[in-house]
Amino acid sequence: MIPISYLSVLKQSCLFHNISEREIEKLLSCLMPQLRTYQKDEYILHAGDLLNSAGLVLSGSVHILQEDFWGNRSIIGTARPGEVFGETYACTPSEPLAVSVITAEPVSVLFLSVARLLHTCPSTCSYHSRLIYNLLALLAEKNRMLTKKIEHISRKTTREKLLSYLSAQSIRAGSPEFTIPFNRQQLADYLSVDRSAMSTELSRLQRDGLLSFSRNHFILKTPVFPE
Protein backbone atom coordinates (compact mmCIF):
# COMPACT_ATOMS: atom_id res chain seq x y z
CA MET A 1 0.00 0.00 0.00
CA ILE A 2 1.39 3.41 -0.98
CA PRO A 3 1.20 6.07 1.77
CA ILE A 4 -1.46 8.64 0.85
CA SER A 5 1.11 11.43 1.30
CA TYR A 6 2.83 10.24 -1.89
CA LEU A 7 -0.27 10.53 -4.09
CA SER A 8 0.36 14.24 -4.66
CA VAL A 9 3.88 13.40 -5.93
CA LEU A 10 2.45 10.84 -8.35
CA LYS A 11 -0.20 13.29 -9.57
CA GLN A 12 2.51 15.85 -10.37
CA SER A 13 4.66 13.27 -12.15
CA CYS A 14 4.78 13.37 -15.96
CA LEU A 15 4.07 9.63 -15.92
CA PHE A 16 0.62 10.28 -14.43
CA HIS A 17 -0.11 13.47 -16.37
CA ASN A 18 -3.86 14.08 -16.86
CA ILE A 19 -4.76 11.19 -14.54
CA SER A 20 -6.77 11.97 -11.42
CA GLU A 21 -5.91 10.79 -7.89
CA ARG A 22 -8.84 8.37 -7.95
CA GLU A 23 -7.65 6.95 -11.28
CA ILE A 24 -4.07 6.72 -9.96
CA GLU A 25 -5.31 4.67 -7.00
CA LYS A 26 -7.06 2.27 -9.38
CA LEU A 27 -3.96 2.01 -11.56
CA LEU A 28 -1.78 1.24 -8.55
CA SER A 29 -4.04 -1.64 -7.56
CA CYS A 30 -3.61 -3.00 -11.09
CA LEU A 31 0.13 -2.35 -11.40
CA MET A 32 0.98 -3.68 -7.91
CA PRO A 33 4.08 -1.46 -7.46
CA GLN A 34 6.81 -2.02 -4.87
CA LEU A 35 7.88 0.74 -2.48
CA ARG A 36 11.52 0.72 -1.37
CA THR A 37 13.69 3.08 0.66
CA TYR A 38 17.45 3.68 0.46
CA GLN A 39 20.09 5.63 2.37
CA LYS A 40 22.47 8.22 0.91
CA ASP A 41 25.22 6.90 -1.41
CA GLU A 42 23.49 3.53 -1.73
CA TYR A 43 23.38 1.75 -5.07
CA ILE A 44 19.85 1.06 -6.29
CA LEU A 45 20.96 -0.54 -9.56
CA HIS A 46 24.35 -1.67 -10.88
CA ALA A 47 25.56 -1.76 -14.48
CA GLY A 48 24.98 -5.30 -15.76
CA ASP A 49 21.71 -5.78 -13.86
CA LEU A 50 18.59 -6.86 -15.71
CA LEU A 51 15.59 -4.64 -15.10
CA ASN A 52 11.86 -5.17 -15.64
CA SER A 53 10.54 -2.24 -13.58
CA ALA A 54 10.85 1.52 -13.86
CA GLY A 55 11.67 3.47 -10.71
CA LEU A 56 9.67 6.57 -9.80
CA VAL A 57 11.29 8.78 -7.15
CA LEU A 58 8.85 9.72 -4.37
CA SER A 59 11.31 11.60 -2.15
CA GLY A 60 14.99 12.48 -2.32
CA SER A 61 17.03 12.21 -5.53
CA VAL A 62 19.22 9.75 -7.43
CA HIS A 63 22.04 10.01 -9.95
CA ILE A 64 22.22 7.90 -13.10
CA LEU A 65 25.88 7.36 -13.91
CA GLN A 66 28.41 5.42 -15.93
CA GLU A 67 31.53 4.02 -14.29
CA ASP A 68 34.60 2.55 -15.96
CA PHE A 69 36.79 -0.32 -14.71
CA TRP A 70 38.86 2.10 -12.56
CA GLY A 71 35.85 3.75 -10.91
CA ASN A 72 35.84 6.98 -12.93
CA ARG A 73 32.30 8.36 -13.06
CA SER A 74 30.27 10.29 -15.60
CA ILE A 75 26.84 11.43 -14.43
CA ILE A 76 24.23 10.92 -17.14
CA GLY A 77 21.36 12.54 -15.28
CA THR A 78 19.43 13.02 -12.06
CA ALA A 79 15.94 11.94 -11.01
CA ARG A 80 14.04 13.92 -8.37
CA PRO A 81 10.55 13.50 -6.83
CA GLY A 82 8.04 12.62 -9.54
CA GLU A 83 10.73 11.70 -12.05
CA VAL A 84 11.38 8.24 -13.48
CA PHE A 85 14.55 6.22 -14.12
CA GLY A 86 15.31 2.87 -15.74
CA GLU A 87 12.25 2.91 -18.00
CA THR A 88 14.25 2.42 -21.21
CA TYR A 89 15.92 -0.76 -19.94
CA ALA A 90 12.71 -1.99 -18.33
CA CYS A 91 11.14 -1.89 -21.81
CA THR A 92 13.94 -4.23 -23.01
CA PRO A 93 14.35 -6.53 -19.97
CA SER A 94 16.84 -8.86 -21.68
CA GLU A 95 19.31 -5.98 -22.19
CA PRO A 96 21.76 -5.51 -19.25
CA LEU A 97 22.00 -2.04 -17.75
CA ALA A 98 24.85 0.08 -19.12
CA VAL A 99 24.47 2.53 -16.22
CA SER A 100 24.24 2.46 -12.44
CA VAL A 101 21.81 4.33 -10.19
CA ILE A 102 23.02 5.68 -6.84
CA THR A 103 21.24 7.78 -4.24
CA ALA A 104 22.27 11.42 -3.75
CA GLU A 105 20.37 11.50 -0.42
CA PRO A 106 17.90 9.24 1.43
CA VAL A 107 15.18 8.29 -1.06
CA SER A 108 11.90 6.46 -1.46
CA VAL A 109 11.32 4.79 -4.83
CA LEU A 110 8.21 3.24 -6.33
CA PHE A 111 9.02 0.41 -8.76
CA LEU A 112 6.43 -0.14 -11.50
CA SER A 113 6.40 -3.26 -13.67
CA VAL A 114 6.64 -2.07 -17.26
CA ALA A 115 5.07 -5.31 -18.52
CA ARG A 116 1.97 -4.58 -16.41
CA LEU A 117 2.08 -0.94 -17.45
CA LEU A 118 2.18 -1.72 -21.19
CA HIS A 119 -0.54 -4.39 -21.11
CA THR A 120 -3.96 -3.03 -20.27
CA CYS A 121 -6.36 -5.04 -18.14
CA PRO A 122 -9.59 -6.52 -19.68
CA SER A 123 -11.55 -3.37 -18.85
CA THR A 124 -9.11 -1.30 -20.99
CA CYS A 125 -9.51 1.85 -18.87
CA SER A 126 -8.96 5.11 -20.74
CA TYR A 127 -6.60 6.33 -18.03
CA HIS A 128 -4.40 3.24 -18.49
CA SER A 129 -4.09 4.22 -22.16
CA ARG A 130 -3.05 7.72 -21.02
CA LEU A 131 -0.42 6.12 -18.78
CA ILE A 132 1.07 4.28 -21.77
CA TYR A 133 1.05 7.52 -23.79
CA ASN A 134 2.80 9.32 -20.92
CA LEU A 135 5.50 6.63 -20.81
CA LEU A 136 6.18 7.14 -24.52
CA ALA A 137 6.38 10.88 -23.94
CA LEU A 138 8.88 10.28 -21.12
CA LEU A 139 11.08 8.15 -23.37
CA ALA A 140 11.07 10.92 -25.97
CA GLU A 141 11.97 13.53 -23.33
CA LYS A 142 14.87 11.41 -22.02
CA ASN A 143 16.20 11.17 -25.57
CA ARG A 144 16.02 14.97 -25.85
CA MET A 145 17.88 15.38 -22.53
CA LEU A 146 20.67 13.05 -23.64
CA THR A 147 20.96 15.08 -26.84
CA LYS A 148 21.35 18.22 -24.71
CA LYS A 149 24.10 16.58 -22.65
CA ILE A 150 25.96 15.65 -25.83
CA GLU A 151 25.64 19.29 -26.87
CA HIS A 152 27.24 20.42 -23.58
CA ILE A 153 30.13 17.97 -23.45
CA SER A 154 30.95 18.33 -27.15
CA ARG A 155 32.08 21.93 -26.52
CA LYS A 156 35.85 22.27 -26.76
CA THR A 157 36.74 24.02 -23.49
CA THR A 158 35.64 23.72 -19.87
CA ARG A 159 34.41 27.32 -20.03
CA GLU A 160 32.22 26.58 -23.06
CA LYS A 161 30.84 23.44 -21.43
CA LEU A 162 29.92 25.37 -18.27
CA LEU A 163 28.26 28.19 -20.19
CA SER A 164 26.31 25.75 -22.35
CA TYR A 165 25.04 23.80 -19.33
CA LEU A 166 24.25 26.83 -17.15
CA SER A 167 22.49 28.60 -20.01
CA ALA A 168 20.29 25.52 -20.54
CA GLN A 169 19.49 25.39 -16.81
CA SER A 170 18.49 29.06 -16.87
CA ILE A 171 16.18 28.47 -19.83
CA ARG A 172 14.67 25.46 -18.08
CA ALA A 173 14.05 27.50 -14.91
CA GLY A 174 12.68 30.44 -16.89
CA SER A 175 14.95 32.72 -14.88
CA PRO A 176 18.61 33.82 -14.73
CA GLU A 177 18.58 32.61 -11.11
CA PHE A 178 18.38 28.86 -10.50
CA THR A 179 19.71 25.92 -8.49
CA ILE A 180 21.38 22.92 -10.14
CA PRO A 181 21.08 19.34 -8.80
CA PHE A 182 24.85 18.80 -8.58
CA ASN A 183 27.67 19.61 -6.18
CA ARG A 184 31.06 20.53 -7.69
CA GLN A 185 32.33 16.98 -8.16
CA GLN A 186 29.02 15.83 -9.60
CA LEU A 187 28.93 18.75 -12.04
CA ALA A 188 32.49 17.96 -13.13
CA ASP A 189 31.49 14.31 -13.64
CA TYR A 190 28.42 15.35 -15.63
CA LEU A 191 30.43 17.63 -17.92
CA SER A 192 33.36 15.19 -18.10
CA VAL A 193 35.90 17.76 -16.92
CA ASP A 194 38.48 18.00 -14.15
CA ARG A 195 36.96 19.38 -10.94
CA SER A 196 39.91 21.67 -10.13
CA ALA A 197 39.99 23.15 -13.64
CA MET A 198 36.20 23.61 -13.55
CA SER A 199 36.32 25.42 -10.19
CA THR A 200 39.02 27.74 -11.54
CA GLU A 201 36.90 28.48 -14.59
CA LEU A 202 33.83 29.21 -12.47
CA SER A 203 35.86 31.77 -10.52
CA ARG A 204 36.96 33.36 -13.80
CA LEU A 205 33.39 33.54 -15.05
CA GLN A 206 32.36 35.23 -11.81
CA ARG A 207 35.29 37.66 -12.06
CA ASP A 208 34.34 38.41 -15.68
CA GLY A 209 30.84 39.37 -14.53
CA LEU A 210 29.05 36.56 -16.36
CA LEU A 211 27.63 34.95 -13.24
CA SER A 212 27.65 34.73 -9.47
CA PHE A 213 27.18 31.60 -7.43
CA SER A 214 26.98 30.14 -3.95
CA ARG A 215 27.36 26.37 -3.77
CA ASN A 216 24.90 25.05 -6.38
CA HIS A 217 22.86 28.27 -6.67
CA PHE A 218 23.66 30.42 -9.74
CA ILE A 219 22.71 33.81 -11.13
CA LEU A 220 23.61 34.51 -14.76
CA LYS A 221 24.45 38.12 -15.63
CA THR A 222 25.04 40.29 -18.67
CA PRO A 223 28.57 41.64 -18.48
CA VAL A 224 29.02 45.41 -18.38
CA PHE A 225 31.80 46.60 -20.65
CA PRO A 226 33.61 49.88 -19.93
CA GLU A 227 32.90 52.66 -22.42
Q: For 166-223, what is each residue's pLDDT tens digit?
A: 999 999 999 999 999 899 999 999 999 999 999 999 999 999 999 999 999 999 998 6
Helix axes 195-207, 184-191, angle to 10 degrees: 100
Pick the CATH number of 155-220 from 1.10.10.10, 3.40.50.150, 3.40.50.300, 1.10.150.20: 1.10.10.10
> How much is the average pLDDT of 29-57?
95
Whether 121 has a pLDDT exceeding 80, the answer reads: no
Phi-psi region of 173 (alpha: psi -120 to 50; beta: other; left: phi over 0): alpha
Q: What fold does the segment set 4-148 form as a domain?
A: Jelly Rolls (2.60.120)
What confidence category does residue 14 fall into, taking pLDDT thresholds of 50, 70 and 90?
A: very high
Helices (H) and strands (E) in the chain, counts: 8, 11
Domain with CATH 2.60.120.10 in the chain: 4-148
Whether 225 has a pLDDT exceeding 60, the answer reads: no
Whether 131 has a pLDDT exceeding 80, the answer reads: yes
* Eight-state DSSP code of residue 105: S
Listed residue (87, 33, 34, 41) closest to 61, CA to CA: 41
Tell me, what's the pLDDT at 226?
56
Whether 29 has a pLDDT exceeding 80, the answer reads: yes
Q: Are 135 and 15 in contact (CB under 8 A)?
A: yes
Q: How far is CA 223 from the centre of its chain?
A: 31
DSSP E strand boundaries for the chain: 34-38, 43-45, 53-59, 62-67, 73-79, 84-85, 100-103, 107-113, 177-179, 211-214, 217-220
Most confidently predicted of 20-24, 37-41, 94-98: 37-41
Q: For the whole model, what pTM was predicted?
A: 0.79
Helix axes 126-153, 184-191, angle to 10 degrees: 90
Containing 173, the helix (H) or strand (E) segment is: helix 158-173
Instruction: Give Cβ neighbours of residue 58 (< 8 Å, ≥ 6 apart).
Output: 6, 9, 10, 35, 81, 107, 108, 109, 110
* Cβ atoms < 10 Å from Cβ of 83: 19
Domain with CATH 1.10.10.10 in the chain: 155-220
